[in-house]
């Protein structure tokens, strides 16, 4: 009688069992038939079900921290309307389509000699590249420095030109996004941060990888925390903070983080 395993998994290489020539398992197979009989015999000696004996004392305790908290509610009058959020999502979608359309063109263009992009793993280099020395070193601008602030990119940071972001791979986009969000966790919102976050989100491909999914949720929560401490609706940071929350929640479908009217 065939075993249950044989009924479910018929033999693909049947072995002639009527071979009169004796063969011992202690000797190496001399031909294909002996080899197949050897394998068949070994398989018949294996139990159908094997249970591993694990000593619980040898297992290391492991814990995984998963944050499921949402955004902090906006102070009264600080939350954007649903119509405004729809408009921003529509505009952001158009920007993403434009980036994808022109990516190959700009990717083939040469950068200026003064634009030296850091390596993906160079976290400090990317912070200086995006923010500039003034922000990274917390240097206060003098009044005369504000006449042409965009000319010295080493001090003010390079804007996220399409010619630059088009050259970033998805792994680099995720890495730089992580660097900037981690920087934002300990510091205030600055214009350079807003520009780069918007550009990187526009380059982030869907569907999101788990790491990117976690990062953008971290970003929205941080924006809501900064917004909750604003003292005036006229604060220049409010619109940018609302925009970041809106993009994460509405465009990337993290609906539990969205601002409600």
> Does residue 57 lie within any of the structural domains?
no
> Does residue 70 lie within any of the structural domains?
no
CATH of the domain at 118: 1.20.58.1070
Residues 124 and 235 placed together within one structural domain of the fold? yes
Residues 35 and 120 placed together within one structural domain of the fold? no
**Which residue range forms the structural domain that includes residue 32?**
4-45
Residues 37 and 94 placed together within one structural domain of the fold? no
> Does residue 76 lie within any of the structural domains?
no
Residues 89 and 166 placed together within one structural domain of the fold? yes
> Does residue 247 lie within any of the structural domains?
yes
Residues 36 and 114 placed together within one structural domain of the fold? no
DSSP string, the chain: ---HHHHHS--SS---TT--S---TTSPP-SHHHHHHHHHHHHHHS-S-------GGGSPP---------PPPPPTTTSPPHHHHHHHHHHHHHHHHHHHHHHHHHHTSPPPTT--PPPTT-HHHHHHHHH-HHHHTTPPPPGGGGSSTTS-HHHH-----HHHHTT--HHHHHHHHHHHHHHHHHS---HHHHHHHHHHHHH--SSPPHHHHHHHHHHHHHHHHHHHT---TT-THHHHHHHHHHIIIIITT-GGGSPP-
> Does residue 74 lie within any of the structural domains?
no
Residues 231 and 119 placed together within one structural domain of the fold? yes
Q: pTM score > 0.75 for this model?
A: no
Domain count of the chain?
2
> Does residue 64 lie within any of the structural domains?
no
Task: Render each residue's pLDDT in the chain as its tens digit; 261 residues.
Answer: 455 555 555 555 565 654 545 556 667 778 877 888 787 787 778 877 777 777 776 665 554 444 557 899 999 999 999 999 999 999 999 999 999 998 888 888 888 888 899 999 999 999 999 999 888 887 655 444 544 554 688 889 999 999 999 999 999 999 999 999 999 999 999 999 999 999 999 999 989 888 999 999 999 999 999 999 999 999 999 999 999 999 999 999 999 999 987
């Amino acid at each position: 009688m065939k075993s249950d395993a044989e009924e479910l998994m018929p033999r693909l290489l049947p072995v002639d069992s009527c071979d009169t020539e004796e063969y011992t398992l202690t000797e190496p197979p001399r031909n294909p038939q002996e080899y197949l009989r050897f394998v068949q015999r070994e398989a018949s000696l294996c139990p159908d079900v094997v249970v591993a004996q694990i000593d619980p004392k040898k297992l290391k305790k492991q814990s995984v921290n998963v944050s499921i908290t949402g955004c902090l509610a906006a102070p009264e009058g600080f939350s954007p309307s649903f119509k405004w959020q729809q408009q921003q999502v529509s505009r952001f979608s158009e920007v993403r389509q434009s980036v994808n359309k022109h990516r190959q063109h700009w990717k083939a263009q040469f950068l200026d000699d003064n634009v030296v992009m850091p390596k993906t793993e160079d976290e400090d280099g990317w912070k200086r590249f995006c923010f500039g020395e003034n922000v990274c070193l917390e240097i206060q601008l003098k009044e005369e420095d504000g006449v042409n602030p965009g000319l010295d990119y080493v001090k003010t940071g390079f804007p996220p030109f399409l010619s630059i972001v088009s050259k970033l791979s998805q792994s680099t986009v995720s890495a730089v996004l992580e660097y900037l969000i981690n920087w934002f966790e300990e510091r205030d919102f600055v214009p350079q941060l807003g520009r780069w976050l918007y550009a990187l989100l526009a380059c982030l491909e869907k569907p999101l990888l788990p790491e990117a999914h976690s990062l953008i949720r971290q970003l929205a929560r941080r924006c809501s925390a900064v917004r909750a401490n604003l003292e005036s609706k006229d604060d220049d940071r409010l619109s940018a903070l609302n925009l970041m929350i809106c993009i994460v929640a509405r465009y990337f479908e993290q609906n539990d983080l969205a601002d409600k009217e």
